[in-house]
A and B are shown apart, each in its own frame.
Chain A
Amino acid sequence: MGRAGRRALAGVALVGGALAPFAGSPYRAQRGRVDVARLAGVVAREEDHVTAVELAQWIKDRKPGLRVIDLRAADAFDAYHVPGSQRVDITTLPTTAFAPAETVVLVSDAGGHAAQGWVFLQALGHRQAYFLRGGIGEWMDDVMSPVAGRQPAPTLTRYFGGAARAEGAPPPRGPRRGGC
């Protein structure tokens, strides 16, 4: 590498280094961009969430690229979680890698955290993301232990090993309720 080569290299380094302070954060998770108008439209069209029955159908149909992410605490997850779901702490959700082809469904206790996580993923460019509207609570109520006579999807309940319960009976194996 002659003198010219060294100078060129040093020049590139100088420019690269001089511009760096003005470039913002290199971390993807710190550069989320929210198109609020677009998101409002998605929410209005109810294309931001899925129901428990829809999710159950997706799982049964082995929807390609489906990835169910559970945002609850470890003990709640260990007690019960949607089959095939993986646990991710909400603080690590921004740095979790998702493939463009994946369909991500976020699950939390009652859907709150999952809805927030949905916004995070949208801000980071993951458009094919949804949240389970009523969280694990809805999953239990509609899929695993629906009230007899008002079962939304009996075949799905059977598929996942759930059972109907009598009107007025408490849920058999209730995961912690009242969480977010």
Chain B
Amino acid sequence: MSAPLPVFDAGSARVLELAAALAIGVGFGWALERAGLASAPKLVGQFYGTDLTVFKVMFTAILVALLGSFWLARLDVLDLARVSVPDTFLLPQLAGGLLFGIGFVVAGLCPGTSCVAAATGRGDGLVAVAGMFCGVLLTGLLFAPLARFYESTGHAAWTLPEALHLPYGVVVGLVVAAGLAGLCAAEWIEGRA
């Protein structure tokens, strides 16, 4: 089996695909709430060094998906070439990332966790969602001066193995090593907090 679903009938395949999106979202929301990441005070503990749940959840997920996708692809269960890799736009993603991080600590929630917080009754989640919508809306409406920057330094679907001229498996190994080291460090830091 390889992605995406075979299109035996365009209509029913689309419905199935949306149903899959819904189910995947349910899993995502469930995991975030279970981990407590819908609680802003807990979430920002990451950036005060007291509660590193954000890092642990994020990097465990990345390592699982990284190793899973690599090995499933290697074993011909997943067709890696058919999975869309997010595009690279170096400068906008650097600048956007910095801004995002700043907003993250101000709001205490990110887009995904704010949706979950709102869904569980948290007023701050709801307001963060509203803020994000307005922020994107305003950005899109007043986008003209940013348009050139937005399209700069682009590099469709550029992976670390390609950029570093290393075999994919080597990069996987390096990221796993770094990730595990980071998670050990996180445990140690929390122990000292």
Contact = CB atoms under 8 A, between A and B. Distances in A.
Q: Let me know if chains A and B touch directly in the complex, using CB atoms closer than 8 Å.
A: yes
Interface stretch (A25-33, A45-53, A82-90, A136-144): A25-33
Interface residues of A, number: 20
A8 interface: no
Contact of B170 (A9, A16, A21, A99): A21
Contacts of A28: 73, 76, 79-81
Contact of B169 (A14, A22, A97, A99): A22
Given A25-B167, A28-B73, A20 B81 contact: no
Given A26-B73, A97-B2, A20 B170 contact: yes
A23 interface: yes
A103 B125 CA distance: 53
Given A13-B180, A26-B70, A26-B80, A20 B173 contact: yes
Interface string A1-22: 0000000011001101110111
B2 A26 contact: no
A13 B176 contact: yes
Given A27-B73, A99-B6, A18 B173 contact: yes
Nearest to B69: A26
Contact of A16 (B76, B82, B176): B176
Nearest to B80: A26
B132 interface: no
Nearest to B179: A13
Given A25-B167, A25-B168, A97-B2, A20 B80 contact: no
A24 interface: yes
Given A10-B180, A14-B180, A27-B73, A21 B67 contact: no
A20 B167 CA distance: 10
Contacts of A116: none
Most buried by B among A22, A26, A95, A99: A26
Contact of B67 (A16, A22, A29, A97): A16
Contacts of A29: 81
B177 interface: yes
B54 interface: no
Contacts of B176: 13-14, 16-18, 20
B64 to A, nearest CB: 8
A99 B6 CA distance: 8
A9 B60 CA distance: 10
Contacts of A21: 167, 169-170, 172-173
Contacts of B74: 23-26
Interface in B1-58: 2, 6
Contacts of B179: 13
B63 interface: yes
Interface of B: 2, 6, 60, 63-64, 67, 69-71, 73-74, 76, 79-82, 167-170, 172-173, 175-177, 179-180, 183
